[in-house]
């Protein structure tokens, strides 16, 4: 891109950046800008270099981040090509000039130049070269603090670290000589005065950086002030610099502010579990309680299994939730003593506000896992005008991993629920399963109700892609879309329409275990049956149902077969 002879400062280069998405290369075409070849900087002054950088940046239409990445590579290459008197001194001189471009460019270009210099390798500099660059960097540091050079304050710490500017260098920049002790003390006072200025202006990260670099020691009040201003990142950085006593104080402050996650992270990073056993346990219990409230019992057990006290806490949570089978399961698996004398609240007291098979008057819940049961269930469902459908699968708790296959599918009338073991049926009688489900799902005579159907149908097609029955559908009605309901889920809709919600504590249980527990089976049945009750309550004016405003015409919300087919086509990129 940059071809002209060294020393020429006004040659025209015809170029235009156009992006080739296939091979990620820039192709040169016709657009004129004035550029000097960066192949030799021996005759280029810092002002000209900065001017050329700006011209390069203004050329083209790519996004700023992309432009900076490309420019950084050019600058790094240029620093190998004889800048005078040396790369480090050259960059400091450029940093002096950058504010003349205005803050719009100064901050970004400063970062670009410093990053490029950090990546400069295999370049041995003479001691006098480093000395000159450090002297200039110290002077620039002082000038920025004195506001005679208008740079963004974050460059201060970068200057100190990159050029290894110390207290002596700053003193020489201020006083010309640092031989006298009083000048050292004056330099310290100068630094501390500006540190407090940054604290007063709430620039805590800059203040902390200066404190660390110059080893300035402040008391607990500094930590307290940062915590009060919620500058937690700066507070942790400073506490780590000060050592264990200040880190312990940081943990105490987090605990007082009920910020247990932050306290736990600091405890873990600094191995302070023995110093703060109560805070550590409080955070663990708080995390387990949040998991239990979401019904994520398997994750709660997994995170507690190395600690017997935490396992017992999970058992108490399960008891409070009325999750009797989890109490028994954990008690027996880990030989927990004492829980056999305690009783779990019975359904009549705990589940008074929830719908269950008895309240919904479900006569039969039938498990289907063989050919005979499949045929019987299909024949019954084909005689229904309206059914509810739902499906369940074992949660996958590992980020980025493939979701587990759908384990069961529930299809229910108003008072009977069939629970199909899809894993076993697909393994034993896949052709018969496909044929029977096509008779149900593709039937224009059966209205099939669901909630958030798009999610379930997508997961079914992903789990059993070889079956035709999960590719095309007729007469589907998503109650979530019908009522435009995006808060509270199916339980919230049931409470709004029927006056009571659903107990969702089994939602995230292990749906691949066989046999399923009685509570899992009842949960699955209720989720399908309640859909039919909600529909009948609204459109047949069932006695006792709560009034819902904005009754909609449900036929206009039907899922046509082509909608699902098109959705699937988009997924595979056709």
**pLDDT tens figures, 475-508:** 999 998 888 766 678 988 998 889 898 877 777 7
More confident site: 448 or 199: 448
Give 406: exposed, middle or buried? Use CB within 10 Å, 0-12, 13-18, 19+. buried
Query: Domain boundary at 293, 324, 350, which?
Result: 350
Q: Select from 379, 383, 410 the least CA-distant residue to 531.
A: 410
With a CB cutoff of 8 Å and minimum separation 6, the contacts of 376 are 368
- Between 299-303, 418-422, 434-438, 442-446, the lowest mean confidence (pLDDT) is in 299-303
Rounded Cα distance, 36 and 286, in Å: 63
With vertex at residue 141, the alpha carbon angle to CA 135 and CA 143, rounded to the nearest 5 degrees, is 105
304 and 388 both lie in a single domain: no
Percent of the chain with pLDDT over 70: 80
**pLDDT of 563 over the 80 cut:** no
Check residue 74 and give its pLDDT. 80
343 and 460 both lie in a single domain: no
Average pLDDT of 63-74? Answer: 80
**Phi/psi of residue 217, each to 5°?**
-105, 120
359 and 488 both lie in a single domain: yes
* Pairing relationship of beta strands 354-355 and 416-421 according to DSSP bridges: unpaired
User: Is 205 among the domain residues?
Assistant: no
Domain extent, residue 304, equals 277-350
Query: Domain boundary at 323, 350, 377, which?
Result: 350
String of DSSP letters for 162-192? HTT--HHHHHHHHHS---SHHHHHHHHHHHH
Q: Select from 449, 328, 427 the least CA-distant residue to 371.
A: 427
User: Is 210 among the domain residues?
Assistant: no
- Between 23-32, 165-174, 191-200, 254-263, the lowest mean confidence (pLDDT) is in 23-32
**pLDDT of 568 over the 50 cut:** no
Q: How does pLDDT run across 309-354, given as a tens digit for each residue?
A: 898 898 888 888 777 777 887 888 888 876 655 555 554 444 457 8
- Between 69-83, 188-202, 443-457, the lowest mean confidence (pLDDT) is in 69-83
450 and 463 both lie in a single domain: yes
User: Is 257 among the domain residues?
Assistant: yes
157 and 16 both lie in a single domain: yes
Q: Per the structure, how many domains does the chain have?
A: 4
With a CB cutoff of 8 Å and minimum separation 6, the contacts of 28 are 1, 14, 15, 16, 17
Query: Model-level pTM?
Result: 0.53
Check residue 572 and give its pLDDT. 31
345 and 360 both lie in a single domain: no
248 and 261 both lie in a single domain: yes
**pLDDT of 36 over the 80 cut:** no
User: Is 189 among the domain residues?
Assistant: no
Locate all alpha helices (DSSP H) within 294-421, ordered by sequence. 297-304, 308-320, 324-333, 347-350, 371-382
405 and 444 both lie in a single domain: yes
305 and 260 both lie in a single domain: no
**pLDDT of 32 over the 50 cut:** no
Average pLDDT of 556-562? Answer: 60
User: Is 196 among the domain residues?
Assistant: no
Rounded Cα distance, 318 and 326, in Å: 6
Specify which of 125-134, 140-149, 432-441 reaches the highest per-range mean pLDDT.
Answer: 432-441
Residue with tokens 């199909």: 420
343 and 358 both lie in a single domain: no
| CATH for 558 | 3.30.420.10
Q: Are 560 and 393 in contact (CB under 8 A)?
A: no
Check residue 102 and give its pLDDT. 81
DSSP state of 524: H
Rounded Cα distance, 438 and 473, in Å: 8
Check residue 546 and give its pLDDT. 53
User: Is 90 among the domain residues?
Assistant: yes
360 and 318 both lie in a single domain: no
**pLDDT of 363 over the 50 cut:** yes
Check residue 18 and give its pLDDT. 35
434 and 410 both lie in a single domain: yes
Query: Domain boundary at 335, 350, 365, which?
Result: 350
User: Is 468 among the domain residues?
Assistant: yes
Q: How does pLDDT run across 198-210, given as a tens digit for each residue?
A: 888 889 889 888 9
User: Is 29 among the domain residues?
Assistant: yes
């Amino acid at each position: 891109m940059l071809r002209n002879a060294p020393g020429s400062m006004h040659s025209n280069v015809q170029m235009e950046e156009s992006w080739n998405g296939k091979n990620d290369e820039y192709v040169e075409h016709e657009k004129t800008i004035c550029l000097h070849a960066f192949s030799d900087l021996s005759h280029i002054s810092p002002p000209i270099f900065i001017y050329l950088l700006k011209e390069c940046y203004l050329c083209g239409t790519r996004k700023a981040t992309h432009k900076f990445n490309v420019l950084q590579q050019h600058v790094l290459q240029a620093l190998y090509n004889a800048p005078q008197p040396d790369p480090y001194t050259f960059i400091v001189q450029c940093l002096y000039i950058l504010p003349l471009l205005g803050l719009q460019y100064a901050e970004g270009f400063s970062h670009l130049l410093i990053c490029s210099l950090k990546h400069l390798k295999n370049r041995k500099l003479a001691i006098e070269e480093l000395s000159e660059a450090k002297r200039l960097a110290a002077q620039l540091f002082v000038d920025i603090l004195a506001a005679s050079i208008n740079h963004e304050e974050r460059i201060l710490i970068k200057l100190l670290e990159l050029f290894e500017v110390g207290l002596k260098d700053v003193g020489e920049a201020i006083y010309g000589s640092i031989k006298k002790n009083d000048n050292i003390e004056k330099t310290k006072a100068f630094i501390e005065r500006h540190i407090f200025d940054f604290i007063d202006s709430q620039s805590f990260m800059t203040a902390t950086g200066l404190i660390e670099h110059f080893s300035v020691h402040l008391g607990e009040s500094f930590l307290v002030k940062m915590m009060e201003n919620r500058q937690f990142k700066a507070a942790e950085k400073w506490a780590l610099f000060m050592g264990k006593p200040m880190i312990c104080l940081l943990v105490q402050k987090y605990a007082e502010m009920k910020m247990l996650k932050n306290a736990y992270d600091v405890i873990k990073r600094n191995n302070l579990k023995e110093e703060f056993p109560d805070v550590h346990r409080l955070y663990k219990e708080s995390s387990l309680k949040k998991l239990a409230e979401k019904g994520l019992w398997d994750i709660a057990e997994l995170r507690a299994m190395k600690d017997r006290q935490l396992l017992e806490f999970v058992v108490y949570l399960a008891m409070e939730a009325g999750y009797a089978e989890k109490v028994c399961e954990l008690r027996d698996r880990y030989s927990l003593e004492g829980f056999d004398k305690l009783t779990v609240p019975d359904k009549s007291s705990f589940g008074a506000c929830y719908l269950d098979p008895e309240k919904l008057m479900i006569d039969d819940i039938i498990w289907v896992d063989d050919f005979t049961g499949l045929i019987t269930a299909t024949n019954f469902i084909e005689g229904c005008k309206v059914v509810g459908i739902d499906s369940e699968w074992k949660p996958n708790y590992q980020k980025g991993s493939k979701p587990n296959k759908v384990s069961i599918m529930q299809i229910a009338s108003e008072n009977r629920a069939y629970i199909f073991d899809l894993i076993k049926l697909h393994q034993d009688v896949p052709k018969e399963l496909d044929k029977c489900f096509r008779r149900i799902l593709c039937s224009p005579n059966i209205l099939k109700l669901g909630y958030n159907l798009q999610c379930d149908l997508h997961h079914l097609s992903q789990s059993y892609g070889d079956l035709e029955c999960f590719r095309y559908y007729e007469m589907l009605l998503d109650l979530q879309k019908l009522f435009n309901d995006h808060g509270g889920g199916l339980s919230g809709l049931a409470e709004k329409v029927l006056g009571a919600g659903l107990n969702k504590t089994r939602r995230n249980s292990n749906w691949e275990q066989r046999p399923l527990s009685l509570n899992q089976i009842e949960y699955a049945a209720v989720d399908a049956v309640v859909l039919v009750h909600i529909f009948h309550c609204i459109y047949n004016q069932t006695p006792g149902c709560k009034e819902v405003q904005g009754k909609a015409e449900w036929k206009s919300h039907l899922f046509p077969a082509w909608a699902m087919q098109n959705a699937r086509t988009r997924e595979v990129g056709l």
